Amino acid sequence: MTSKTQPIPRRAMRLTTIASLCLAILKLAAGIYTGSVAVLASAVDSFFDFLVSGFNAFAVHSTEKPRDEFYNYGRGKMEGIAATAEGLFILGSAGFIVRQAVGKLIHPQSISTLQLDLAAGTMVFSVLAALGLTVYLQRASRNTRSLVVKADSLHYRTDVFSNSAILIAMLLIRFTGWQMADPLLGLGIAVYIAKESLPLIRQGLDMLLDRALPENIVEQIRQIATTHSTRINGAHELKTRRAGDINFVELHLVFDEDITLGAAHRIADEIEMRIRSLEKSKWSVNIHLDPVDDSHRDWKLAGMP
């Protein structure tokens, strides 16, 4: 399969994996030559980016596999695992930046003019590369519901800010000699990165814990189920969740006792089609047909009062 025919999430993950490795090698070389702790820290961050992007590529590849006899619901939760892991990594990166910044505040280090110029040039290239990746990933995120692509978009957006902070610090030190610029700006970026990582972690955990679909979608499903036909006397056991790019819906419909199975099945199919039209996404809708309201029995079987 050529790259032109590969799904958007897989192409995006391959690009970010290669790009993060190249940036890591470039920053490491510049960091070792200049002795800049900030650039070395950024190199470590890019190496982690490479590892995370590689794991994300694996997650996307797994998510795209069709369901089979071993994974009856597919592998969509790999996206939840990847998003949670990346969010935790971003949070850890913020902690690493704080540690480096505090160390430089306590023990300031001087960098020569030539080293500052090389470090600044490296960071200019890094900022442009991270900005290009962010724009590409945001565009890809709009064309797909992949949580992994959204996570990587956030990741490289934070890289734009962190790399910019290092660049600004290098320029300030170069032209003013104010050595405190680097650690102070680093602390500010660390706070921003930590704040941005929390929603990503929450979204990943929501997928892993089978959080219901948004409340407005659930209410629309309930309205469709209970008002579509006069032959329906009620609906219960409505359960929803999302895994990967698939919305899962389960519910019980209570029909008139004298309705034929064929008629009830046709009504259920109509309801399923209306549910699928609520959102441009993949759906897995499972509707159980009841001749009487047995919700109390279902609740008891589920261990509910």
pLDDT, tens digit (0-9, with 9 covering 90-100), for 110-129 = 777 888 888 889 999 999 99
Judged by average pLDDT, the poorest of 12-26, 52-66, 137-151, 264-278 is 52-66
Q: Which residue has the higher pLDDT, 1 or 137?
A: 137
The residue among 208, 231, 262 that closes a domain is 208
Tell me: do 166 and 293 sit in the same domain.
no
The answer to whether 10 and 33 are in contact (CB under 8 A) is no
Do 152 and 24 belong to one domain? yes
Q: What region, left, alpha or beta, does residue 237 occupy, with left being phi > 0 and alpha being psi -120 to 50 degrees?
A: left
Q: Where residue 4 falls among pLDDT bands split at 50, 70, 90?
A: very low
> Is pLDDT at 71 greater than 60 in this prediction?
yes
Average pLDDT of the chain is 83
Predicted TM-score (pTM) of this structure: 0.67
The pLDDT of residue 236 = 92
The dihedrals phi and psi of 145, each to the nearest 5 degrees, come to: -95, 15
> Per the domain annotation, does 2 fall within a domain?
no
CA dihedral 165, 167, 169, 174 (to 10 degrees): -170
CATH of the domain at 237: 3.30.70.1350
Q: Among 208, 237, 263, which residue terminates a domain?
A: 208
Q: What is the mean pLDDT of residues 237-250?
A: 90
Half-sphere exposure of 290 (CA within 13 A, CB side): 18
Give 264 or 145, the one with higher predicted confidence: 264
- Residue 92 pLDDT greater than 90, yes or no: no
Mean pLDDT over 232-237 rounds to: 93
Residue 266 has pLDDT above 70, yes or no: yes
Rounded Cα distance between 17 and 84, Å, is: 18
Distances, alpha carbon 182 to alpha carbons 173, 251, 282, in Å: 8, 57, 47
| Host domain of residue 251 | 215-301
Last residue of a domain, one of 182, 208, 234: 208
Over the stretch 194-225, which tens digit does the pLDDT of each residue have? 887 888 889 889 989 999 999 999 999 999 99
Q: C-alpha distances in angstroms, 177 versus 96, 173, 189?
A: 25, 4, 21
What confidence tier does 304 reach under pLDDT thresholds 50, 70, 90? low
Once rounded to an integer, what is the mean pLDDT over residues 126-136?
90
Percent of the chain residues topping a pLDDT of 70: 90
Pick from 77, 78, 90, 97: nearest CA to 49: 90
Task: Write down the pLDDT at residue 211.
Answer: 92
Distance CA 30, CA 126 (A): 12
**Residue 148 in contact with residue 13, Cβ under 8 Å?**
yes
| Residues 43 and 158 reside in one and the same domain | yes
Residues 164 and 106 in one domain: yes
Domain membership flag for residue 3: no
pLDDT of 97 higher than 90: no
> Domain check: are 228 and 127 in the same one?
no
Task: Mark whether 49 and 197 lie in a shared domain.
Answer: yes
What pLDDT does residue 2 have?
A: 39
Residues 157-165 have a mean pLDDT of 84
